[in-house]
Structure 1
Amino acid sequence: MEKITLFWFRRDLRMEDNMGLYYAYENEEKVLPLFIFDSDILNKLEDKADARVQFIHERIRILHEELRKYNSSILVRKGNPLEVFQSLSREFEIKNVYTNRDYEPYARKRDQEVESFLKEKNIPFYDFKDQVIHEKKEITTEKGEFYKVFTPYSRMWLKKFKASKVDTVSLDGRKNSFYQTKPLPLPSLEEIGFQKSHIEIPPLDINKPLIKKYDKTRNYPSLNGTSRLGIHLRFGTISIRKLVLEAAQLNETYLNELIWREFYMMILYHNPQVVDKAFKSQYDQIPWRNKEEEFELWCRGETGYPMVDAGMRELNQTGYMHNRVRMVTASFLTKHLLIDWRWGEAYFAKKLLDFELSSNNGGWQWAAGTGTDAQPYFRIFNPESQLNKFDKEEKYVKKWIPEYGTEKYPKPMVDHKTARERALKIYKEALGK
């Protein structure tokens, strides 16, 4: 059997500025890239025309083409990752495995299982920081504890960022380290059990003029005021180092959003229980109403509140929802309808192209008042005043609700004042206020 080093692609689907890939090629010979379509994840996806799977498949095809330039290829398998590595260990003499770290509970468990197996075979497993600027315990209080509040976290993040040298890395001059092989077979989308989606993926474009005025445009959903790079950060088709160095310097507010992303990642890393429990445990006492018929109206965008409905229809049709509208729709579900934030979070997880567990969980718990540094439970968005403030000319709602302003558009399913008072009463009683 031939000796090889494997580089395992996961949330870093690019050749450019890929830290683990750089060190694999720097330190080893005959590096063969590997991607595993993880059946444990894919089997949970209900929609077999999931645009995210199509996006991943397309990125693998692009990597496949890029590697051909070096007379190399990418090895693609489908299955449980541990079982895939067990199988590969019988096909190759694996010298080392390199990869980039992931911080979600499932990913950490998966990596521990794979690393333990490799250790039994005396195969070293090397992982690297790649999808964040600061990770794990790099940003802590003076007592060495993780931050529970964003503002002091962001101050420390910036302080450390300015004091350290953040560099990108390049594979230039390391072409001799690629495993030389004919193109390996690339399974079709259908062969991995999926089909093409009609949903379009936003292009990978660092739009500097847009980012420069981000703080002035980001709250208005009818404007093209956000970068739409979420899916590219999620699957690592763009390097966070490149984005911070090239674009975030242009706008403090934009950089702040990238820091929020790492804050929520850090919260999830230190508190894996938040996946299905409130960060503030006392909030798990709230007796949610959880009316399924009301949840269905919210999902379809038929609540009678235009900003909520426009947001849900945009999400259902495009896999995207403007961030201001995400806050309004989440607040409406949890406060006006008193439906468990976990229901809304799960729906967003199914639909969002840029779904990232930590940010989705953090955002929903923020809206429900259950999370770290969340809005107070008594702050309840008024969907009508949000519409008047951020979509005054109603361009956004008219785009997504063709029947808006006609008799076909439903009346509000709940009165704002009544719903607000009900939510305050339920929260106060549950929290013993």
Structure 2
Amino acid sequence: MKNTILTLTFSSLLLSCATKEKPEKSIYQTDSTLSIVKAKALEIVKTGFNAGDGYGEVWIRDYNTFITLSAEVHKPETLKENLSVFFKLQGEDGNIVDGFIPIQKAKESKVGYEYIYNDLEPKYAGHKNTVETDQESSLVQAVEKYVKVSGDTAFLSEKIGSKTVAQRLDWAMEFLMNHRYDKKHGLIWGATTADWGDVQPEHDWGVYLTKDTHLAIDIYDNAMFLIALDKLMELIPAKKAKWQPIRDAIAKNTMTHLWDEKNQKFIPHVYLNGSPFPDSLNENEIYYHGGTAVAIEANLLSKEQIKVSLDKMIDNVKKSGAGSIGLTLYPTYPAGSFKNKGMYPYGYQNGGDWTWFGARMVSALYQNGFKNEAYEQLKPMLKRVIDNKGFYEWYTVDNKPKGSGTFRGEAGVLYDAIILFEKDDLKEK
């Protein structure tokens, strides 16, 4: 009798398992737009490493965001060669150039850059937007991604000139502490820009520090520095004793001086020599989407603060009418705030909608447990790639594409976000 009961019970269990319906897949697991955009992203990086069809240069802040994608279609040696150029053009104080271009093209260029040359690099000339403070941090991050995807740890020991790559990475971080560090606030500084942008208000072009520049501390530069320090310590564990205390201090000082607890947001700037904007502008009403996304990547905000940040971004999108949370900032700086004519309200970095940062927010949301929210914010970014048949640099407030139509930075960050969802799909299978 006992054996009969056991047999019946086991049979019932088998029947239950056989008839039990398979769990339904979540909507993002059946969304074909992810695979379509992923395929388009892979195609676009096969054609080169410049930022897009509107640029001749390879920029480190762009390359950092699509080097993982490039690793899918290019040999590691090619990726490493590009990284090596930045080290060969490294300044005598450790600074890193923004980008590089073949020397002959530099000679023919009418852009207006003050090109940088180095005997270590016979083929390329460099240039540097001195108003920004993210080139050094971007290179460290890019090298960490390269080593991660290639397994080429030997690259760190390769000599370029008299220094190894590892020494040059450390030197680049020292440049920021020696030449871009404000002791009073314990944070690094740059020129006043709109969120993560590289255009200052005081000049028609706005890419070089001048006597009129208003120096300022912002969240983007410091969050990028924090991420770079984390990656540097992963690459070179022997440097942890040197950089961990600095990393901890920068993180603490960032939240002390830049986080507005009452309004649950980062303030745009802490000024070191006054503001370039009129007193009539209450700058703290402006919410910086891009810098906030990078701050989350730097692990500066709690889950509760991340949720509040997302809610504010979504509200800003509704108020502005923009297409996605890639909206640079909201509300915009008033007309005439920047001498550069492209920085009109909702133009370029003054309220333009950039997937280049919006998709970073998507990845940050996903990695902090907001998977469904991440997918909802990703959908409009995927849709406009398909609708516009390309990866555009930025979008107007009414979602019209602008700038380069082969913007590899956008392709890279979308690829990174899509991969997160694909890995999740594999786990569930």
TM-score, structure 1 as length reference: 0.26
TM-score w.r.t. length of structure 2: 0.27
